[in-house]
């Protein structure tokens, strides 16, 4: 494996992680995910795609043009808004009680100091209408202290021993207990990994298969004021971003050609392979 960090403040192409079936499930619940605590009396969940583009004003100054597009979400249904190859496995965790993005265009691009930066944001915003439409202060603080944001991150990894489907999907669990009088601010980092596969057992040609996959790499967590932090009334604010870290995996098989060369030299190897092919056809 070769690992590099690709730091750049230049334009980088967008990564549509949905194309590789990378997504996530989320719910407000107790710590053990026994039931949903989603209730508009206390607040609402928001999911959005945010894109910031650096532009030049008429006076020569620069500013960020911010575009926010709501992302629809609904109860997770495997094969509809959630792809996971092992249906039986993920169904053991009551996946239908979670929400999943309905979008197939979840996009991550660049960083905050790139000409174009795009990220996905998940928010829980407190209901702000007067009582009795929304909970009063005493009710809300009593409720929020027992609520946890529970997430299932769909991620992938490279299985060096699998020659049929080397990219494997798995579930990563993430928990964020909400806090009274504080907002949670989190960042989830996905990284893009590459693999170069030299799996031609005959070894007559230098054939290479390349592919890529996305993997949840890390997360950060801090607290902020729920009114003066990322947004008014934000008791949970999460960003999904693309990591600068990139891993490249390379796999090479010990070929028949290589075995023949090691045992009898190059010309004998060609003769051996010729006999092998002749016997097959």
b/e for 190-220, b at 16 or more Cβ within 10 A?
A: bbbbebebeebeebeeeeeeeeebbbbbeee
b/e for 141-180, b at 16 or more Cβ within 10 A?
A: eebbeebbbbbbbbbbebeeeeeeebbebebeebebebbe
Q: Nearest to residue 23, comparing CAs of 77, 68, 92?
A: 77
* Overall residue count recorded for the chain in this entry: 281
For residue 127, the SS3 value is: coil
* C-alpha separations of 235 from 44, 178, 223, 228, 241 in Å: 10, 7, 9, 11, 20
Cβ distance 48 to 123 under 8 Å? Answer: yes
Q: pTM value? A: 0.87
pLDDT value for 245: 86
pLDDT < 70 stretches in the chain: 1-7, 201-206, 254-281
pLDDT per position as a tens digit, 199-234: 776 655 567 889 999 999 999 999 999 988 899 999
* C-alpha separations of 247 from 39, 129, 158, 164, 176 in Å: 41, 48, 10, 21, 28
Cβ distance 217 to 191 under 8 Å? Answer: yes
What gap in Å lies between CA 96 and CA 61, rounded to an integer? 49
The contacts of residue 279 (CB under 8 Å, 6+ apart) are none
pLDDT value for 208: 84
Main-chain dihedrals φ then ψ at residue 279, nearest 5 degrees: -65, -25
pLDDT value for 140: 96
183: its two tokens: 């907002």
Cβ distance 104 to 120 under 8 Å? Answer: no
pLDDT value for 3: 66
Sequence ranges of the domains in the chain: 2-254
State the Rg of the chain over Cα: 25
The contacts of residue 95 (CB under 8 Å, 6+ apart) are 25, 76, 78, 82, 152
């Amino acid at each position: 494996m070769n690992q590099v960090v690709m730091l750049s403040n230049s334009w980088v192409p967008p990564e549509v992680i949905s194309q590789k079936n990378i997504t996530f499930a989320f719910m407000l619940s107790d710590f053990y995910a026994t039931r949903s605590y989603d209730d508009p009396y206390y607040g609402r969940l928001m999911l959005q795609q945010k894109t910031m583009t650096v532009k030049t004003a008429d006076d020569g100054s620069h500013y960020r043009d911010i575009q926010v597009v709501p992302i629809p979400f609904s109860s997770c249904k495997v094969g509809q808004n959630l792809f996971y190859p092992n249906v039986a496995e993920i169904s053991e965790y009551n996946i239908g009680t979670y929400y999943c993005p309905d979008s197939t265009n979840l996009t991550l691009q660049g960083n905050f100091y790139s000409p174009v930066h795009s990220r996905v944001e998940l928010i829980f915003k407190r209901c702000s209408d007067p009582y009795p439409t929304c909970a009063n202060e005493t009710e809300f603080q009593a409720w929020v202290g027992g609520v946890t944001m529970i997430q299932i991150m769909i991620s992938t990894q490279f299985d060096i021993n699998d020659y049929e489907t080397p990219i494997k999907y798995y579930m990563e669990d993430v928990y964020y207990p909400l806090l009274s009088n504080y907002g949670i601010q989190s960042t989830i980092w996905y990284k893009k990994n590459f693999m170069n596969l030299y799996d031609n057992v005959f070894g007559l040609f230098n054939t290479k298969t390349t592919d890529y996959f996305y993997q949840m790499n890390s997360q950060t967590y801090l607290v902020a004021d729920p009114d003066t932090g990322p947004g008014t009334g934000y008791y949970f604010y999460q960003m999904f971003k693309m990591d600068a870290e990139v891993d490249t995996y390379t796999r090479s098989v010990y070929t028949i050609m290589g075995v023949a060369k090691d045992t009898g030299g190059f010309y004998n190897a060609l003769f051996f392979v010729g006999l092998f092919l002749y016997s097959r056809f």
